Amino acid sequence: MHKQEFERSVQQKMEELSFTPSAQVWERVQQDIRTHDKRPFRWWWLPALLVIGAGGWWLVQNAPKPQQSVVQVNTEAPSQESEAPRTNAVSGYNQDQINQSQSENDLNIATTGAGTENTPETQTNQPLLPKEPPVAQSSKANGPAVPYSSPYAQPMDKGGIIKSAKTSVANGQSGKTAVQNSEPNTVAAQRRSAEDQLAETSDDAATQSRTIAAVPHFPAGKENTQLFNGTEKEAVASAFKPLAQSKPHSKWSWGVSAQYGFSNVGTTKLFSESAFNAELARPVPEISFAARPVPELRLEKGPFFSGGLTVQRALGRRVSVGSGVLYSVYTTRQRTGDAVYRSTLPSNQFVGDLQGNVFYRDTLNANVYTNKYHLISVPLSVQVQPFARLPLEVSAGMQAGYVIGAKSLHYDAITQFYYPAKPKMRQLQWAASAGLQYRVAGKKGWELMAGPQVSYNLSPMSKSGTDKRRLYAYGLGIAFRKK
């Protein structure tokens, strides 16, 4: 009887060994797994949520505002009497209408000044004041109607900014104000309200509006050319000067980016719960070979590099979207035994089906083999600068990658050799990525960003539906951008 036959007979006997466990064992197992039955947190949804959240935020911020309608307040030419008294009487208009008209006129001026499209009402030279005022009866009853137009618009008679005021003057109205000097507080409050609204759409416009608002009220009794004295004109003109001269920033920027770090393969969870999981991550041989256990897969992290061209488009002052083309190399390292060359193997050693000329034994940790995966990917990401004064960007997005080449170790259970070969990978690899980028250097027109980056492939590496291992990488990202 051969030695192995004794072991085999013992093994057969032990395979038959079976007992019935007590009922308490299942109860305790059940109790334990109930508390652990929650689904593991799908961390890769975080970048997706960030993308969705940033997109939603941008949509809300850039939602089209309801168009401001111009209040039509008067049709009649002002009578001579209306010019004379510079009392605070607002003949023919109640104060609400005046206030409303003023605030809306302010809004039109500032919005137009910010460079937005003029509405048909402001672009055409149609009279601002229609023939029939909405409160004509009461107006007439109380005296001659006086049109109200924003005094702030008058000196800036350029570029369609103050068409409404111009129109008013062009219609032969001498621009007398209906605003009573005794009620500046109400008017000013309305003006401030309008300015606050403007601040949301354009800081430049709001600045101008505030500067203009600082100019004293429309002086009564002056023609439109005499509305302001020299100092006032200069103040208003200087407020508009930056807008006229400043060149708007380009919304597009391009650059190059690179990332250096480490990569590895993980299961559905990014981090193992314990070392025990690593034990379960052993490769399963294609052919089971008696009771011979499969050697433990000793995968370690390897260097990771990614680099390419990027392009960004600003959606707002602190939000932008980016894309580009990236080349990435993921690597993992695997400890193996001695290298064996095909030519040195004995003739009875069957390795005919194995690819390559170099094999590695599965016993000793004599060598380290580097598995490599090359991908070309197109990222789509959103960058948000959460704090206005801190040049820090939070980015999150997705990548569609295509595997252009790969080589990794495989295990053959019959020969008990590792052999390098092209793995059966999914060609299309979706990945989620996230990171932080801090502006470490920059001047007008360019900037250098750096910060930690992480990416996790949502697609499993293998075409096999049961192998859920995925590539992931983390490291330091550097990006150079030019506007």
Q: Residues interacting with other proteins, by CB under 8 A?
A: 1-3, 5-7, 9-11, 13-14, 16-22, 24-26, 28-30, 32-33, 36-37, 40, 267-268, 273, 276-277, 279-281, 284, 288, 290-293, 295-296, 363-364, 464, 466-468
Which lies closer to other proteins via its Cβ, residue 238 or residue 268? 268
CB of 418 to other proteins, least distance (A): 15
Cβ closer to other proteins: 158 or 468?
468
Given a contact cutoff of 8 angstroms between Cβ atoms, the answer to whether 474 and 303 are in contact is no
Least distance in angstroms from the C-beta of 327 to other proteins: 30
Contact 402, 375 (CB under 8 A): yes
Helices 203-214/230-245 angle, 10° precision: 170
User: Residue 225 class from Cβ within 10 Å (0-12 exposed, 13-18 middle, 19+ buried)?
Assistant: exposed
Work out how close the CB of 289 gets to other proteins at its nearest, in angstroms, rounded to a whole number: 9
Contact predicate 483/253, CB 8 Å: yes
CA distances from 279 to 229, 299, 303, 448 (A): 86, 11, 23, 43
Q: Cα angle vertex 156, ends 133, 210, to 5°?
A: 85
Query: Closest distance between other proteins and the C-beta of residue 25, in Å?
Result: 5
* 171 vs 459, beta carbon nearer other proteins: 459
For residue 324, the one-letter residue type is G
Q: Tell me whether residue 22 or residue 185 sits nearer to other proteins (CB atom).
A: 22
Contact 303, 328 (CB under 8 A): no
Residue 319 CB, nearest distance to other proteins (Å)? 37
For other proteins, which is the closer residue by CB, 203 or 286? 286
Strand partners, 475: 261, 453
Which is closer to other proteins, CB of 25 or CB of 60?
25
Residue 34 CB, nearest approach to other proteins (Å): 9
The answer to whether 227 and 154 are in contact (CB under 8 A) is yes
Cβ closer to other proteins: 4 or 80?
4
Instruction: List the beta strands (DSSP E) in 194-318.
Output: 252-266, 299-314
Rounded to a whole number of angstroms, the minimum distance from the CB of residue 338 to other proteins is 13
Q: Which is nearer to other proteins, 15 or 117 (CB)?
A: 15
Strand partners, 252: 313
Closest to other proteins by CB, 28 or 249: 28
| Closer residue to other proteins in complex, CB, 179/413 | 413
- Tell me the closest approach of the beta carbon of residue 421 to other proteins, in angstroms: 17
Q: Cα 204 to chain center, whole Å?
A: 24
Q: How far is the CB of 29 from other proteins (least distance, A)?
A: 5
Shortest separation between residue 359's beta carbon and other proteins, angstroms: 18
DSSP string, 326-350: EEEEEEEEEEE--EEEGGGS-TTS-
In this structure, what are the phi and psi dihedrals at residue 481, rounded to the nearest 5 degrees?
-125, 140
Q: Which of 98, 69, 79 is nearest to 218 (CA)?
A: 98
Whole-angstrom CA distances from 200 to 38, 116, 150, 197, 297 are: 44, 14, 21, 6, 58
Per the CB < 8 A criterion, the answer to whether 93 and 139 are in contact is yes
Best CA proximity match to 115, nearest among 247, 252, 251: 247
Do residues 307 and 260 lie in contact, with contact meaning Cβ atoms separated by under 8 Å?
A: no
Q: Of the two residues 17 and 60, which places its CB atom closer to other proteins in the complex?
A: 17
Q: How far is the CB of 366 from other proteins (least distance, A)?
A: 12
